[in-house]
């Protein structure tokens, strides 16, 4: 009969240094590919979207309140 040897268990956990290296390398590669102009235009569009969303929600709230009060009288 043939003897079977047990192999040592391998750990699938990554050390903190490996995790930091992966995250740092990923972030640095992303920052190298993004233009400053793209960041500025994204920030401006996000601000405009937030303002428009706020005014639409306030307008809808006012409209629903107005028609609820009008329907009760």
Whether the pLDDT of residue 11 is over 70: the answer is no
pLDDT for res 10: 63
pLDDT tens per residue, range 39-62: 899 999 999 999 999 999 999 999
Q: Enter the DSSP assignment of 34.
A: -
Reported confidence tier of residue 8, pLDDT bands at 50, 70, 90: low
pTM of the model: 0.53
Question: How many alpha carbons lie under 13 Å from residue 43 in its C-beta half-sphere?
Answer: 6
In this structure, what token pair is assigned to residue 18?
Answer: 């490996």
Q: What's the pLDDT tens digit per position in 22-40?
A: 999 998 988 888 888 988 9
CA–CA gap between residue 10 and residue 21 (Å, rounded): 21
The alpha carbon torsion through 53, 54, 59, 64 (nearest 10 deg) reads 90
């Amino acid at each position: 009969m043939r003897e079977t040897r047990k192999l040592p268990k391998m750990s699938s956990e990554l050390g903190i240094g490996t995790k930091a290296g992966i995250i740092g390398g990923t972030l640095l590669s992303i920052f190298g590919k993004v233009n400053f102009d793209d960041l500025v235009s994204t920030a401006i569009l996000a601000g405009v979207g937030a303002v428009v969303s706020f005014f639409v929600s306030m307008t809808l709230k006012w409209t629903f309140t107005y028609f609820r009060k009008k329907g009760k009288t």
